[in-house]
Amino acid sequence: MPYKIPESVLVVVHTPSLDVLLLERADRPGFWQSVTGSKDHWGEALWKTCVREVGEETGIVVDPSRLIDWERQNRYEIYAHWRGRYEPGVTHNTEHVFSYCVAEGTPVVLAPGEHLRYEWLGCERAARRCFSASNVEAIELLQRYASTAC
């Protein structure tokens, strides 16, 4: 299996009323997060990574013209238990933050083996549920960046 690229996206999927979609990781039960994922190859455009990851993880088809690029990056140390997925010596990842608005009641189909369950939560509850500091921060900033035109 090829190594993961240490450049990823975080996509906060939300409704017009700012309910946030959270996913519970299958490989770490109790770890809740927004949609995340790494580029498939170095040349992949970030918006394409977002479209692919949201589709793979939730079954939601993303209209790229409605994807909001926050032009915000987080650089963080990769948790030790996940470093084996990256080339030897890679210790940090750069994460690019996006949001995507969906209509209330949008169906979610989880990727088997990747996530156990999902929940739609208000921003405050969603932020408290996330394990990742960058995900918490993104949810706390959602009102500033999000489009509610779904």
Domain ranges across the chain: 7-145
List helix spans (H) across the chain: 46-58, 123-129, 133-140, 142-145
Residue with tokens 């990781």: 25
pLDDT at 100: 97
Contact of 40 with 52, CB cutoff 8 Å:
yes
Q: What pLDDT was estimated at residue 92? A: 97
The pLDDT-based confidence of 23 (bands split at 50, 70, 90) is very high
pLDDT digits (tens, 9 = 90+) for 59-80: 999 999 999 999 999 999 998 9
- As its CATH architecture, domain 7-145 has Alpha-Beta Complex (3.90)
Q: What is the pLDDT of residue 142?
A: 96
What was the pLDDT predicted at 12?
Answer: 98
- Compute the residue count for the chain: 150
Q: In this predicted model, which residue has the larger pLDDT, 148 or 112?
A: 112
pLDDT at 147: 75
Q: How far is residue 60's CA from residue 105's CA, in Å, rounded to a whole number?
A: 12
The stretch 116-136 carries a mean pLDDT of 97
| Distance, CA of 89 to CA of 141 (rounded, Å) | 32
102 class by beta-carbon count within 10 Å (0-12 exposed, 13-18 middle, 19+ buried): buried
